[in-house]
Chains A and B, each alone.
Chain A
Amino acid sequence: MASISENVSNNLALVQKAAFGVGLVSLASSLALYTFHGKKEFFQCYLIAYLFFFAIGAGSLALLMIQHVSAGAWGFSIRRLLEAGSRTLLLLAVFFIPLVFGLQEIYPWARPDALKDKLIEMKSGYLNVPFFLTRAAVFFVLWNAMAFSLSYFSKKEDESAQESIGWWFKAISGPGLVVFAITIGLTSVDWAMSVDVHWYSSMYPVLFGFCCILTAMIFHIIAMILIYQGGDLEKYLSRNYLRDFGSFLLGFIIFWTYLNFSQFLLIWSANLKEEVPYYVNRVTGGWQLVTIALALGHFVLPFLFLLRRETKRIRFTLFFAACFMLLMRFVDYFYLLGPSFSPRHFHFGLSQVTCFLGIGGLWLSFFIYQWNLYPPIAARDPRVVKEPVHGV
């Protein structure tokens, strides 16, 4: 039975406690700041921080289903991490509840006088509070059902030698990916795009859904390198395994750039009155610096760094790149909504930090709790027999 090294599991227990403490303290200070800066500031910062961790949970579910369907060796090595990540959607559903009390502070269409606006009135058949909450509830039920049923069959697979269980993973994951694509697309419209209620972009749902996958992949590269070192799982950190993850990271970063740039180019070329404000808000009032920082830090630098074959294969350089990218992912989520909340005036509040640490601390300790529930490797996965062989 494969296990992680004792040193790592001690550290994990320590991190779990520390993250829980930091999370509680930060959430408490967010609430204290709430009394100083007001409701608006709190809920806007909370949503941005929430989306970041939601992305890891939802992206883990998507990656888990993708690796069940594609059956690549890469997926086997991080399967249990992905399962633990997808089960955090339970906690993320709980973290969604506070947002219910702040919808008016975030979404223009949820305000009492919203229907005076002709355009909002026309959209009100879809964008209204009861329907919004119903959708969120249904989506959380669907995601959790997929995440927990995949984990349930994982447990079954560990306990019995029946080969028929493998069929269930594919039976859930194939249709599950279709459900995921539709629900995450609608989620992007609901939670993020409707902040700019007059604006729309058909690239946005794809971008939002893909950002979940990208963020989750980055998180699991970091988690894999930290957790697997020193133990029996060290072999999954061999250069050729790491290179697969490095290539994923490079490819995903390029795709992120492609989606973002396509959206920008279409809106820039069309130059329509109802579409351009989104980008005008992002190139004025100090936000242009964030735009440039993202173009350099989320594309040019990691692209040039990961282009070399060796950086993708060496543990330290890949780890460094992934940590840097996780930071840039947060900047990207901040940039997704920040300029819409405070147009033409750069604003980064202290609540942003406390909300991030609050949700993040509790989320991380819950993730470690979920990770400890299962053995670190799926010993009966058919891919386990394919030990690293030459030429496959």
Chain B
Amino acid sequence: MDAPKTKIYGLVAEFETPTQIVDAANKAREAGYTSMEAYSPFPVVDLHEAVGFKRTKLPTLAFLGGLTGFCTAFSLETFTSGGAPSFVTPFLPDWFYYPVNIGGRPLNSWPAFIPPEFELTVLFASITSVFGMLLLNGYPRIYHPLFNVPRFSLVTTDRFFLCIEAKDSKFDLQGTKQFLEGLHPYEVSEVPE
């Protein structure tokens, strides 16, 4: 870690309260830093805006996932129960087109179809959200340079970390370190790559 040749991933500052890290991130953004990331044990309101986080495509993906689920359930139920329009039914295979008379109700009993449509909407939307979130976050990933900072393990208990990455065009080891120390953190550490 002390070897002079080590490549630096960035500088990380440790804070003790959520309010401190939101203030710090706001100051860093206002100072012109763009490549930074905040780490906290729980979601902190306003923090994503403070680090200049842009909205992801996840809500759109989840919406499309839900829509797919709805359409899947709708067509599955309509076609298998024989509720499809009559110009389609002659083209359906026998094992798929299976009209069932249930208590004399119409073949296309759309009110009864809604609960499964709702369930598949929720199922598809939530699966898309969870896996979309993991993929957009770059997971699966087994190594991250921040793990080289011993105190970083506290991020899962009660400490908040703000990391300014070396790829930032404004990054300069001494200047950024001074800047971070001016924000009154508990500690500032270098993060080896």
Contact = CB atoms under 8 A, between A and B. Distances in A.
A154 B131 CA distance: 49
A240 B47 CA distance: 12
A308 interface: yes
Contacts of B97: none
A392 B40 CA distance: 13
A391 B19 contact: yes
- Report the contact-size class of chain A (Cβ under 8 Å from the partner): 10 to 19
Contacts, number: 37
A271 interface: yes
Interface in B1-51: 18-19, 22, 40, 42-47
Contacts of B59: 308-309
A37 to B, nearest CB: 37
A264 B105 CA distance: 15
B103 A240 contact: no
Interface in A378-392: 389-392
A261 B111 CA distance: 9
A350 B115 CA distance: 40
A390 B111 contact: no
B112 interface: yes
Nearest to B160: A391
Contacts of A390: 18-19, 22, 44-47
A269 B102 CA distance: 10
Interface in B39-67: 40, 42-47, 59, 63
B111 A264 contact: yes
Contacts of B43: 391
5 contacts: A271-B105, A309-B59, A390-B22, A390-B44, A391-B40
User: Which 6 residue pairs are nearest across A and B when measured between Cβ atoms?
Assistant: A391-B18, A391-B44, A390-B18, A390-B22, A390-B19, A268-B111
Interface of B: 18-19, 22, 40, 42-47, 59, 63, 103, 105, 111-112, 114-115
